[in-house]
Amino acid sequence: MQPALLNLPFTPGPDDLWFLPLGGCGEIGMNLNLFGHDGAWLMVDCGVTFEETAKGQQVQMADPAFIADRAEQLAGFIVTHAHQDHFGAVPWLWPMLEAPVTTTAFTANVLIGKLRRERVDAPVMTVREGSTHQFGPFTVTWLPITHSTPETNALLIETPVGRVLHTADWKIDENPVVGDGFDARQWQQLGDIDAVICDSTNALSPGRSVSEAALAADLTEEIAGAPGRVVVGCFASNIARLQTLGHVAEQTGRYIALFGRSLQQMAQAARGAGYLAESFNAIAPRDIGYLPRNEVLAIATGSQGEVGAALRRLAEDSHPDLNLDPGDRVLFSSRAIPGNEQRIERLNAQFMERGIDVVHADASNRLLHASGHPCAEELEDLYRWVAPRIAVPVHGEPEHMVANADIARRAGAAVALTGRNGDLFRLGQTPSVLREAVLAGRMAVDDRGRIVPALPAIDPERLRVDPDLPVP
């Protein structure tokens, strides 16, 4: 593999506090973030993209050449939670870095399973939520936060020259079904925060996100009213949704089967960690096809239209364990991630051509999906509680990040800086953005398991950002 050409061979000094995203800034997915201070770098997350890959490629991920060329400066490698866009690239990129991966127990369990399947012997260190650990010049505290998978954590990153809150993925959910509810006091008591690196996914959505607990009644009604088989498409890592659907199965007299290896593995990890109730019983996929149609509740991966996923195989009528008939129902308990709309439409058309009823959460009058990300009012709450001097929106397309920046300014942030992958954010006394400081490319895993360069599958118009914002 040829390393990416770098524009600048720089190292942060003792008075510097830098943020450098190599993935996940200007897009949703493929998160890879670097924090720089006093000759060292802290790496946070290492994920794959949700976007459709080129023919002959399995997955795409950020090119880590910048930090791989400086592996001796890598003080820590942290994963915030068990979502593929935050940890899915670790098996392929870790050999270029060879630094221990630090995360909480549940995420570690999921990650270790993935590493073993890819035959990568990477050390994984576990920490407790709420604990504090030192990585070179960085002091890091794990702050539990509500999301759609257990043990999701924001990070408080402290250095002698500044304190940064990296939110990772989050929402305000007082009843998340799995895990503890959102604790506002934790954020109100943080003290002086210089900068917040913040999730922007739903910044364009007004109001507040729906609690996971609010879904059970409407999902029960939707599934109880289906005359035939029901297939629910959702994200494999949404353990709370699995728990909710387990309750729905009991209420509607249906048997659950899990379709998709990642879904089965995630459910196993959740059960082992105590995040799935003992009453959640799934039968083998090969057995569910023998049951009466009105007793079938299949939960399947592939809600984004991914090639080879269970939903795609069901749509093509090529799944070895289950065939759908006219009058059966496919329920998308998810939302389309920007960039995946065409794939989902193709999937939708395949089902409908066969007479299969399709219900999308976004088009239903019932509550069939709860996002794991904050809407506008939740963002405003967090900014007011934390009161950062600087806001840096990430984890969104440009329009989401601009909306997030506007919310931060209204909530009192003195400076809001937007950018994209490869931009260097200086978070010191004079905040600024150095555009295209690093060439932020992509790598891909091809069908033979090799790591090869990959061009971004993003329309250049989607990468436009607003200009540098002056400091008031």
Q: How far is CA 254 from CA 216, 227, 272, 297, 302, in A?
A: 15, 12, 24, 6, 22
Element (H, E) at 144: strand 138-144
Contacts of 117 (CB under 8 A, 6+ apart): none
Distances (CA, A) of 467 to 38, 118, 145, 464: 28, 42, 32, 9
- The single residue listed with the structure tokens 């006091």 is 185
Domains of the chain, each with CATH number or no CATH? 18-207+373-463 (3.60.15.10), 212-363 (3.40.50.10710)
CB 157 within 8 A of CB 59: no
- Tens place of pLDDT for every residue, the chain, 472 residues? 334 444 456 899 999 999 999 999 999 999 999 999 999 999 999 999 977 776 777 889 999 999 999 999 999 999 999 999 999 999 999 999 999 999 999 999 999 999 999 999 999 999 999 999 999 999 999 999 999 999 999 999 999 999 999 999 999 999 999 999 999 999 999 999 999 999 999 999 999 999 999 999 999 999 999 999 999 999 988 999 999 999 999 999 999 999 999 999 999 999 989 999 888 889 999 999 999 999 999 999 999 988 889 999 999 999 999 999 999 999 999 988 887 888 999 999 999 999 999 999 999 999 999 999 999 999 999 999 999 999 999 999 999 999 999 999 999 999 999 999 999 999 998 999 999 999 899 999 988 888 888 854 444 443 333 333 333 2
pTM of the model: 0.92
What is the token pair recorded at 220?
């029960």
Q: Compute the distance between CA of residue 391 and CA of residue 408 in angstroms, rounded to an integer.
A: 6
Strand partners for 139: 134, 158
Neighbours of 69 (CB within 10 A): 14
Q: What residues contact 66, with CB distance under 8 A and at least 6 apart?
A: 4, 6, 20, 22, 34, 438
Measured CA to CA in angstroms, residue 414 lies from 377, 381, 382, 394 at distances of 19, 16, 15, 18
Q: Residue 233: enclosing H or E segment and its boundaries? A: strand 230-233
- N-term to C-term CA, the chain: 44
Q: Is the dihedral of CA 188, 190, 193, 196 positive or negative?
A: negative
* Residue 72: φ, ψ to 5°: -70, -15
Pairing of strands 282-283, 124-127: unpaired
Whole-number Å distance between alpha carbons of 157 and 163: 6
Tell me the sheet residues that pair with 429. none
Name the region of 405 (left: φ>0; alpha: ψ -120 to 50; beta: rest): alpha
